[in-house]
Amino acid sequence: MWPGVQIVEGYRPGAVAAITAHHIDYYAREWNFGLPFETKVAIECAAFFQRYDDRLDRAWLVVVDGKTEGSLILDHDKAGEAHGGLHLRWFIMSDRLRGSGSGRALMQKAVEFADKTSDGCIWLTTFKGLGAARQLYEDFGFHLASELEGETWGRTVHEQLWLRAGRPSA
């Protein structure tokens, strides 16, 4: 990671707005996502922080000069019952930090937390076309479980479900 980059655990003022803004900045520019995506991120992220439980959930924020520049959330929400494990959400870096190694550092923290609390099981949804993210998921033991054409984020994409299986029993 770059000098001056801090990883902060948990909520800090402005986190919901920063996470939403980074998603919109990137996905509106690169994928033409608009209001349906923005409202989904903002509403669900705010709901997550309202029910945040530090025994079960984790939020990591990448902070530079007091400003949130990236995030990765592990959510124990009930949707996890369908896939098993923790739901990896809102994993993003600002343009400023993309490629800095900060994302890899966050993913390492996520995997370590999941190994301790959910036998290593993590799941996430994304869509086809995010090559750097896909490589990172594969590097940390995720596999592509399914891919379907859908309209979750306000336009047609090939939605993907990625799973990281639990650790083998000793």
Q: How confident is the model at residue 112 (pLDDT cuts 50, 70, 90)?
A: very high
pLDDT tens track for 58-100 = 999 999 999 999 999 999 976 556 677 899 999 999 988 988 8
- If you search the block for the tokens 């594969």, which residue do you land on? 138
- Domain positions in the chain are 5-119
Whole-prediction pTM: 0.90
Q: Please determine, for residue 170, whether its predicted confidence score (pLDDT) is greater than 70.
A: no
The helix (run of H) or strand (run of E) holding residue 57 is none
- If you search the block for the tokens 């959400």, which residue do you land on? 89
Does residue 63 sit in helix, strand or coil?
strand
Other beta carbons within 10 Å of 78:
8
Please provide the CATH number assigned to the domain covering 5-119. Answer: 3.40.630.30
Alpha carbon distance 100, 103 (integer Å): 8
